[in-house]
């Protein structure tokens, strides 16, 4: 399994001939080195409706024919715009041809701002993603605060790798993300949602040092860099 980070919360995953992308914020992302036109995927997974997570999902979906998997309101909206979609909701799971997806809670917002308009469109509740590909479970927390039911995720799931926001201000900061990593029982962690903009600048290497003090393997990826599981 190959996992590539493109900055912010965008990850591309290749597994047994299937390709997924999560929260494809590429255009307008100062960290992204890949353009939307270069993305070739079978599925697009969205955690919530903020523009820096929906990103380029629609043009990628229309060009590639990829299916958008997202919380119900967001998935339906993408369908109205012409994308193939599969709506889900928190607590629900579904077995796809690439593996199992289950949506978890995430404490955040989910409003989409159409280009040039001073308004937000309601996109339902934000979510995290539990992806089980083969025998490996990944947890992409989405944008979220620390919350107690992360302990329940750790009890119910065998999380090999967690992708956790550390940027603070809009999401968990490093200290809360350290607790989150322990609560979900992650064996490995990739920090995300940091350093895209000045307001969320963080020292990811310092975060990883704290993870390793707790016996958790951390990986600081540069944009475009991959981890092989």
Average pLDDT over residues 147-152: 98
Average pLDDT over residues 127-144: 98
**Dihedral sign, CA of 87, 90, 92, 95?**
positive
Res 116: pLDDT: 82
CB–CB of 195/202 below 8 Å? yes
Instruction: Report the percent of the chain where pLDDT is more than 90.
Output: 99
Distance of CA 103 to the CA centre of its chain: 11
CATH number at residue 59: 3.60.15.10
DSSP H helices, 39-129, are: 51-54, 57-64, 72-80
Please determine, for residue 144, whether its predicted confidence score (pLDDT) is greater than 90.
Answer: yes
Res 193: pLDDT: 98
Q: Report pLDDT digits (tens) over 40-67.
A: 999 999 999 999 999 999 999 999 999 9
CB–CB of 69/95 below 8 Å? no
- Whole-model pTM over 0.95: yes
Average pLDDT over residues 10-32: 98
| DSSP letters spanning 162-212 | EEEE---SSS--HHHHHHHHHHTT-SEEEEES-SSSGGG---HHHHHHHHH
Please determine, for residue 38, whether its predicted confidence score (pLDDT) is greater than 90.
Answer: yes
Res 97: pLDDT: 97
Contacts of residue 65, defined as CB under 8 A and 6 or more positions apart, other chains included, come to: 84
Task: Give how many domains the chain has, as a whole number.
Answer: 1
Please determine, for residue 113, whether its predicted confidence score (pLDDT) is greater than 90.
Answer: yes
Q: Report pLDDT digits (tens) over 194-228.
A: 999 999 999 999 999 999 999 999 999 999 999 99
- Structural domain including 81 reads 2-228
Average pLDDT over residues 68-79: 98
Neighbouring CB atoms inside 10 A of 19's CB total 17
CB–CB of 55/35 below 8 Å? no
CA-to-CA separations, 30 to 26, 177, 210, 222, in angstroms, rounded: 8, 23, 27, 13
Average model confidence (pLDDT) for the chain? Answer: 98
Average pLDDT over residues 105-115: 96
């Amino acid at each position: 399994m190959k996992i590539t980070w493109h900055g912010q919360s965008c990850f591309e995953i290749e597994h047994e001939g299937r390709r997924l992308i999560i929260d494809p914020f590429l255009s307008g992302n100062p960290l992204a080195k890949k353009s939307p036109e270069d993305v070739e995927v079978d599925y697009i997974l969205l955690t919530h409706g903020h523009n820096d997570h929906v990103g380029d999902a629609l043009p990628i979906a229309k060009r590639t024919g990829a299916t958008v998997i997202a919380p119900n309101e967001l998935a339906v909206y993408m369908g109205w715009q012409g994308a193939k979609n599969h709506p889900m909701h928190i607590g629900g799971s579904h077995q796809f041809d690439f593996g199992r997806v289950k949506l978890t809670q995430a404490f955040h917002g989910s409003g989409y701002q159409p280009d040039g308009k001073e308004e937000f469109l309601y996109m339902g509740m934000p979510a995290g993603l539990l992806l089980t590909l083969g025998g490996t479970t990944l947890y992409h927390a989405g944008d979220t605060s620390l919350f107690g039911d992360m302990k329940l995720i750790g009890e119910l799931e065998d999380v090999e790798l967690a992708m956790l926001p550390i940027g603070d201000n809009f999401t968990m900061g490093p200290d809360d993300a350290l607790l989150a990593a322990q609560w979900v029982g992650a064996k490995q962690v990739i920090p995300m949602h940091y350093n895209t903009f000045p307001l969320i600048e963080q020292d990811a290497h310092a975060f990883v040092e704290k993870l390793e003090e707790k016996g958790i393997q951390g990986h600081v990826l540069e944009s475009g860099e991959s981890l092989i599981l």
